[in-house]
Amino acid sequence: TTEIYTLSLHDALPISQAAGGLPDISAFDLTAARAVFEAEAAALAASNIDEAGIAELQVLAEALCRRDLTDEEAGDYDRRFHLAIARLSGNPVVEYFVQQIWRMRSELPRVTEVYARVCHDDGASRAGEHMAIFEGLRARDPVAARNAMRHHFQRLFEAMLEATESQ
């Protein structure tokens, strides 16, 4: 026999009407999801990337290494870098999910507060990590790109723990 599973309204994630219908999640939950989706997006992009994609990411990675960026500018380059990787994965479903993840990162107050604090305090680590991701992509090495992205999120996770513990 075939079993059919259904979800009741009680099983669904709480939806925040104030945040445009996005789920009410923590920065930790979002970061865990980002680590999965964006690491695989990087691996796919490394397999599919062309010279134009490499050039685009190089500009963004090098911009993230600049020390004169405001938090807003760094955040914009960061968003563009990650969304470009999702697009370069060649998979429109991966690209869509990463776009939605970034929407949550940008629009959910509980998430933006934690990310703003962590990203402000840790720009140097972020720059090196993005360059390592770029190097994996430029080498067209899916394992290196995936591992660099995972390392990026592991460090971000640790920084988030420190930031929330010091509140």
pLDDT above 80 (res 145): yes
Q: Where do we find the tokens 């062309």? A: 50
Summarised one tens digit per residue, pLDDT across range 30-45 is 999 999 999 999 999 9
| b/e sequence 120-137, b meaning 16+ C-beta within 10 Å | eebbebbbebbbbbbebb
Confidence bin at 69 (pLDDT 50/70/90): confident
Q: Across the chain, what does the average pLDDT equal?
A: 87
pTM listed for this prediction = 0.85
Q: Between 24 and 166, where is the model more confident?
A: 24
**18-27, 47-56, 113-122 — which one is most confidently predicted on average?**
47-56
At 144 the pLDDT is 98
Distance CA 117, CA 127 (A): 16
Q: How far apart are the first and last CA of the chain?
A: 53
Distance CA 146, CA 31 (A): 15
**17-21, 53-57, 105-109 — which one is most confidently predicted on average?**
53-57
Q: Tell me the residue type at 115.
A: Y
Distance CA 152, CA 132 (A): 9
Q: Between 108 and 8, where is the model more confident?
A: 108
Axis crossing angle, helix 109-121 with helix 27-48, rounded to the nearest 10: 70
Over range 151-164, report the average pLDDT: 88
Distance CA 73, CA 86 (A): 20
pLDDT above 80 (res 70): yes
Summarised one tens digit per residue, pLDDT across range 92-135 is 999 999 999 999 999 999 899 888 877 655 666 788 899 999 99
pLDDT above 60 (res 9): no
Over range 162-166, report the average pLDDT: 76
